[in-house]
Amino acid sequence: MRSNRRDISGVTVRFEGADNLYLTESTVNKLLIQKFGSLRNTPKDAIVLDTVESVLRTHEMVNNAQVYLTVDGQLITKITQRHPIGRVAGDTQFYLDDEGRKMPLSPNHSARVPIITGKITGKSLEDAYEILKFINEDPFLSKNIIGIHIEDETDYRLRFRLDNFVVRLGDVTDLKSKFDNFKAFYAKASQDKTLAHYEVVSLEFDNQVVCTKI
């Protein structure tokens, strides 16, 4: 009878740096069993760790995987999941992840991210990704923006969580300037309690905020 020190005594799945599980421990174990059979009691020297890592990285929810063996025979798999930052709601639905790649929806968890609607093309998704990256780096914007609507590739419109007006962003040039101007407007209008008076807030014009009242 072989010693557990030379055989795999079990498989442990760990998810790194993520509170939201878009895949589960059961899913990871099932993938390993499909590719390698039951790993328990398999001789440790029969397992090529790089191959196991490569198999895990093929899963559409996995960004990275590290695999190693402990002295007592545990096969440890450390999984870093992909991170969605926007959700496309069209004829087909999917996430955009933080690297701008398409990511499928998960049956295990639904991410609370801005919804992308309208004319979905390769170019408009690239632009939406640039907008989402900027939003994610700003606490005020990431808290308040819930949607990006694409009229066309020069007309992006933003929806806010608690406000009824639409922000017309225009194209994706000068995002920092546009959002700085918007935040200054928002702070002043909040102070004056006039936010509810506006239907459209346009950032399309150079260094200006142009508002249309209801």
CATH of the domain at 209: 3.40.50.11690
Q: Kind and range of the H or E element at 81? A: strand 74-81
Q: Cβ neighbours of residue 21 under 8 Å, at least 6 residues apart?
A: 15, 81, 108, 109
Residue 17, pLDDT score? 83
Residue 1 has pLDDT above 70, yes or no: no
Sign of the Cα pseudo-torsion (187, 191, 196, 199, in order): negative
Residue 190 is assigned to a structural domain of this protein: yes
- Residue 89 resides in a domain: no
**Band (5; pLDDT cuts 50, 70, 90):** low
Please check whether residues 74 and 126 belong to one and the same domain: no
Average pLDDT over residues 185-191: 95
Residue 98: inside a domain: no
End-to-end CA distance of the chain: 81
Instruction: Assess if residue 93 is contained within a domain.
Output: no
3-class DSSP state of 163: coil
What is the extent of the structural domain holding 18?
10-81
Using CA atoms, how far apart are residues 118 and 133, in angstroms rounded to an integer?
Answer: 19
Q: Is residue 112 part of a domain?
A: no
14: CATH: 3.10.20.310
pLDDT at 127: 97
End residue of a domain, out of 30, 57, 81: 81
pLDDT for the residue 2: 45
66-108 pLDDT, tens digit each: 999 998 899 999 999 999 999 999 889 999 999 999 999 999 9
Q: How many domains does the chain have?
A: 2
3-state secondary structure of 68: strand
136 shares a domain with 69: no
The two beta strands, 84-89 and 115-118, are parallel
